[in-house]
Chain A
Amino acid sequence: MTGAELTGLAVLLPLAGFLLNGLLGAKLRSEALSGIAGSGAVAGSFCVACTCFVQLLGLPPGARTIDVPFFPWIAAGGLHADVAFQVDQLSVVMMLIVTGVGFLIHVYSIGYMHGDPGFARFFAYLNLFIVAMLILILADNFLLMFLGWEGVGLCSYLLIGFWYDRKFEKGTTADAAKKAFVVNRIGDFGFLVGMFLIFVTFGSLRFQTVFSQAAALQVGAPVATLITLALFLGATGKSAQIPLFVWLPDAMAGPTPVSALIHAATMVTAGVYMVARCSVLYALAPASMAVVAVVGAATALMAATIGLVQNDIKKVLAYSTISQLGYMFLALGVGAFSAGIFHVMTHAFFKALLFLGSGAVIHAMHDEQDIRRMGGLRSALPVTFWTFLAGTLAIAGIPPLAGFFSKDEILWNAFARGSWVLWLAGVAGAGLTALYMFRLVALVFTGEPRWEKGTHPHEAPPAMTVPLLVLALLSAIGGFAGLPESLGGSNAFERWLEPVFAPAAEKMALVGFPGAFTEYLLMAVSVAVALAGTFLAYAWYTKRTDVPGALVKKFSGIYRVLLNKYYVDEVYDGTVVRPAVKIADTLLWKGVDVAVIDGIVNGLARAAQGAGDALRRVQTGVARNYILVFLTGAFLLVGWLLVR
């Protein structure tokens, strides 16, 4: 058996874990068994991913696409959708990220969820998520991908509302879960429309068929623009971009490992993966590419500004995630697909690390999430502090940590292939990233303790600290996989993905890249901006702690706008949610349902009742009446027969 043939096993193992924990977990009541089964299944999937990687390494770069058919799924008319996997460079990278980071987060969860009554249920959901995510990544056609797409959405819903009896902000966690689900439905509508258009245009949903046919289209073909825009709507839903990003901050209602796995490292990058997978289609639609790039840059900048003023440790990270996803779309939009996927990988490392670190802090503070009531945790949580710092340095783009390489790659491509406006937005976002992340570090780990007396923060158990250490290591050195040529590397990551994006590259206009000097200059600028952000945060939040307060007072209007997240939720509530509820309430419920549908049904029943009421008078109960009627009828019949 080769690696690719084992991919079925990679999906079946977590599925078995899901069934075991889901069906028997409540009976077994054994945290050790649930945890080991759940983590072990994902570890098995990771091993399969590694064998796939090794197998692909042994093949020539042009032939690194392996089809793994399992069975026909749907065959109706011209529609054929098979359950089949496509193992290539891109899916193997995603597989390694999902199963590798997923495994670490599973192990972490054993420590984090210790003592929770829903322990087995939690691991069942996590395993189901891995199943759905692997299907999404490995699918060889749009329909199977959509199955995984919906599957991860379902798991996201289940896990956001995992503590379904807890309060969250103005409602309950169930409200947050519902919001995520409904917002994702809007995106899924776009995905579906895109899929329909693809089927109508190409007569197939299989990636290889569609993309090879698409290569024959003209650049700028209207149908390609339509398809890609519809698919991008799907991506904005799943990957939390403008205008559908509002669900991700609320998704923080779920347990922290969920935020790390689903709402930072893996699921939210599904949109990026999907766009990268359809790179050929996007290359045919420069207008869509521009939309993707602009939306990405705008989201990166907007979310970063919101992240500056949030006071919930997980909210800051949530907006940071949205912002980083924006960078990924910026890369995709300017045609640097491999740079986007590179950032998916490094982001998975450092953002999972940061979320797990915040989980360790929340764990230590007994479910306290407000950073205004933290501070000085460095001495109590040394491992968490140092790993969190590594993650922060990585996300801020300080060389030589992972985030620097991937972000620099994106900014360089934004400048060279896009425009200086996109680059400027990206650089500004990078500075803000450094600022809000170091603000977080300063407020949580340094300074005077601001927590209540009687709280005794304690370092997390090894099940939690070991994944932190592994992820910190990956965040530190992960970037060297994509060391650019200008810094003496060979950009192995881009070389690896090159064959996947080659058809798209052919379609895109060749751009003359500016010289090496420009690249070094831009690199220096982005590092300088990141360092400036770091220094500002250090100065404002550890030395001159009066400055932020003064700034808030001076720019109170802007501060309020940022604190309320640009009032996007309120605007959506006013323009979409409440009118929709109103329409549903007055028109659809009381109008259509009660008046028309119920009216028809009740009317028919009432007509039948009335008719029966009238006709029952005929049945008098007097036998002779019946006989008279009967005889009259008989005579009439005979008479008619006679005179006929």
Chain B
Amino acid sequence: MDVPLSYYLCLSAILFAVGAAGVLTRRNVIVVFMCIELMLNAVNLTLVAFSAYLGSIAGQVLVLFVMAVAAAEAAVGLAIVISVYRNRQSVDIDDINILKW
């Protein structure tokens, strides 16, 4: 039984909205991180869905790239978080505002 494309897109949109809302509202950097991952994966889902719908392999290839970048981003991001925590004893995103003029 085929699931229609619109189902995938709706699910993806919901996941993306949840992620975006989390990034904007949560203050814990770890949670913000997880929300970013959620948004990335929502996009991945869209790509795979379109790939299957259109019978093109390109979408799946792009997903692999996104996952590789996401892994790298998670590694660097968590390293920064640990470094910031060691310096400031905090992972609250509102405390981390040193990157300005």
Contact = CB atoms under 8 A, between A and B. Distances in A.
Interface string B70-101: 00000000000000000000000110111111
Name the residue among A616, A621, A624 with the largest chain B CB count within 10 angstroms.
A624
A627 interface: yes
Nearest to A631: B20
B23 A621 contact: no
A624 B93 contact: yes
Interface in A552-571: none
A627 B23 contact: yes
B98 A621 contact: yes
B3 interface: no
Contact of A620 (B20, B93, B97): B97
Interface string B40-63: 000000000000000000000000
A615 to B, nearest CB: 10
A623 interface: yes
Contacts of B32: 623
Interface string B3-30: 0000000000000000010011000000
B99 to A, nearest CB: 5
Interface in A204-240: none
Contacts of B100: 616, 619-621
B98 A631 contact: no
Interface string A621-636: 1111001100100000
B98 A623 contact: no
Contacts of B101: 616-617, 619
B99 A621 contact: yes
A624 B24 contact: yes
Most buried by B among A620, A623, A628: A623
A282 B78 CA distance: 93
Contacts of B20: 631
Interface of A is mostly: helix
Nearest to A620: B100
* Interface size class, chain B: 10 to 19
Given A616-B101, A619-B100, A621-B99, A628 B94 contact: no
Nearest to B36: A627
Nearest to B26: A624
Interface string A589-616: 0000000000000000000000000001
A623 B96 contact: yes
A614 to B, nearest CB: 11
Contacts of B96: 621, 623
Nearest to B97: A621
A628 B24 contact: yes
A623 B32 CA distance: 11
Contacts of A624: 23-24, 93-94
A60 to B, nearest CB: 90
B24 A622 contact: no
Nearest to A626: B99
A622 B97 contact: yes
A619 to B, nearest CB: 5
A637 to B, nearest CB: 15
A621 B96 CA distance: 8
Contacts of A620: 97, 100
Contacts of B98: 621
A616 B101 CA distance: 6
A624 B98 CA distance: 13
B24 A627 contact: yes
Contacts of A617: 101
Task: For the complex of A and B, list the 4 residue pairs with the smallest distance between their C-beta atoms, beginning with the closest.
Answer: A621-B100, A621-B97, A616-B101, A622-B97
Interface of B: 20, 23-24, 32, 93-94, 96-101
Interface of A: 616-617, 619-624, 627-628, 631
Given A621-B97, A622-B94, A627-B23, 20 more contacts: A617-B101, A619-B99, A619-B100, A619-B101, A620-B97, A621-B96, A621-B98, A621-B100, A622-B97, A623-B93, A623-B96, A623-B97, A624-B23, A624-B24, A624-B93, A624-B94, A627-B24, A628-B24, A631-B20, A631-B24
22 contacts: A619-B99, A619-B100, A619-B101, A620-B97, A621-B96, A621-B97, A621-B98, A621-B100, A622-B93, A622-B94, A622-B97, A623-B32, A623-B93, A623-B96, A624-B23, A624-B24, A624-B93, A624-B94, A627-B23, A627-B24, A631-B20, A631-B24
